[in-house]
Amino acid sequence: MPELKVKGVTIVETFAEAFPMVGTRVIITAPTAEWAMISARTMTGFATSVIACGAEGGIERILPKSETPDGRPGVAVLLFTMDVDKLQTQLRNRVGQCVLTSPGSACYAGLEGGKKLKLGASLRFFGDGWQMSKVIGGRRYWRIPVMGGEFVCEDKTGLTTKAVGGGNLLVVGKSHSAVLAACTRAVRAMADLPDVITPFPGGIVRSGSKVGSKYAGQIASTNHAYAPGLKWHPDSELPPNAEAVLEIVIDGLTADAIHDAMHAGIHAIAKGGARDGVTHITAGNYGGNLGPHHFHLKEIVG
C-alpha cells in the first residue's frame, strides 16, 4: 500500500481513539474583553485532563458584544467530564470560585437542550437571602449582591452527553522547534472552529500518557513508545531521526466537531511542515477496544 503523504509529511495509517464525555458551555461576560478573558482563563485553569484535574476545559472562542446576552464582551467556555455528577460539581466549583470572584463578571448558559446543569441555581445561596431572581424571556437569572455590585448568573445551563474527549494528533519531527511550530499552527487553526477545545497548555501536550504503569497506584505513565530518548527500546514507534513528539488533544461537543478540528489540524501541520522538519503525523489509540470513537487519519485527510 502506498504511503499517504501531505506536503511531504507522512500520515501514518492509524486512528485516534476517543471516548464519550459529557460537556457543557457557559458564556462569561465582563466590562472589558480583557476581563472576560481573565475570568475564562481562571475558570479553565488546571483543566487539562480528567486524570487529575477533575475536568477538561478551555476557551472555545471570544464573543463580540453583539453575541452576548448582556451586550458586553464575552468568552465561550467548554467544560467536559466523564459523567454528569462530576460535571455539575466542577461547574459549580469553577464558576463559583473563578467567575463569581472575577471583577464585573456575569455568567450565562451557552448550551440549550433537555437536560440541565445548575448554574445560578446553586450559586445563588452565596447571596445569603439577598439574591433576587429575574425571569427575562422565559429564562431565569439570579442577581447576587457582591462587593463589586451584582453578580448576574443564569439559573441553569444545558449539557450534552454526546460529547467526545481524547481526539488527538501526534506530531513527529526532526527537531523540537519544528514540531512545536507545527503544533502551534494547528492549535491556532482549531481555535477558529466551533464546539471544540484543546485543553492542554497552549493546546499542546508534551507528555502523552499510556494507561497504567509498572508502579502500583500510578494510573497513567509516560507514553514510552513515543519518547525519543527510548528509541532503543523494542516498543518504540519512532523512526531513527525523530527528535521530538508533541500531541494535540481535542475535546468536542460532537464527534463531527472533533473530525473537523483534526482535519484543520493536519493540514495546518503539513503546511510547510516537511521543509521545517516535521516527518510524521500519527495518533494515539489503545488498539480500538477501549473507546467507541475511531478517527482514522486517512479518512480525515481526504
Partner 1 sequence: MTALCFQLKGRPEQRLDLSPLVPARLDGLNRKEIEGLSVATTREAVTVGDVFKVKGRDVQNLHFIGTDNRCDKIGAGLTGGDIVVEGDAGMLLGARMKTGKIAVHGSAGVLAGASMTGGEIAVRRDAGDQAGGVAFGETFGMKGGFIAIGGDAGDLVGERLRRGLIVVGGNAGDYAGGRMIAGTILLQGGAGRYAGYGNRRGSLIFADKPRHLLPTYVDSGVMEFDYLRLLETWLRGQGLRIRLGGRARRLVGDMAVLGKGEMLILS
Kindly tell me which of 19 and 126 has the beta carbon lying closer to partner 1: 126
Residue 224 three-state SS: helix
The answer to whether the CB of 164 falls within 8 A of the CB of 293 is yes
CA angle 77, 82, 84 (to 5 degrees): 75
The C-alpha atoms of residue 239 and residue 245 are separated, in whole angstroms, by: 11
Kindly tell me which of 141 and 226 has the beta carbon lying closer to partner 1: 141
Interaction between residue 141 and partner 1 (CB under 8 A): yes
* Shortest spacing between CB 110 and partner 1, in angstroms: 15
Kindly tell me which of 98 and 153 has the beta carbon lying closer to partner 1: 153
* Shortest spacing between CB 235 and partner 1, in angstroms: 56
Interaction between residue 143 and partner 1 (CB under 8 A): yes
E strands within 84-219? 106-109, 116-118, 132-136, 139-146, 149-154, 156-158, 160-173, 196-197, 209-211
CA angle 140, 145, 149 (to 5 degrees): 110
The answer to whether the CB of 208 falls within 8 A of the CB of 245 is yes
Nearest-10 Cα torsion for 208, 214, 218, 222: -10
Set of cell numbers at residue 207: 507528555
Interaction between residue 144 and partner 1 (CB under 8 A): no
Count the residues of the shown chain that bind partner 1, applying the rule CB under 8 A: 20
Interaction between residue 1 and partner 1 (CB under 8 A): no
* Shortest spacing between CB 102 and partner 1, in angstroms: 13
Of 132, 211, 219, 290, the one binding partner 1 (CB under 8 A) is 132
* Shortest spacing between CB 152 and partner 1, in angstroms: 5
Taking CB under 8 A as the binding criterion, the range among 91-99, 133-141, 208-216, 233-241 that sits at the site for partner 1 is 133-141
Restricted to residues 47-66, the positions that interact with partner 1 (CB under 8 A) are none
Interaction between residue 216 and partner 1 (CB under 8 A): no
Interaction between residue 150 and partner 1 (CB under 8 A): yes
Cβ atoms < 10 Å from Cβ of 122: 20
Interaction between residue 71 and partner 1 (CB under 8 A): yes
Interaction between residue 256 and partner 1 (CB under 8 A): no
The answer to whether the CB of 29 falls within 8 A of the CB of 108 is yes
Interaction between residue 149 and partner 1 (CB under 8 A): yes
Set of cell numbers at residue 300: 480525515
Of 2, 114, 128, 138, the one binding partner 1 (CB under 8 A) is 138
List residues binding partner 1 (CB under 8 A): 29, 68-72, 104, 106, 132-138, 141, 143, 149-150, 152
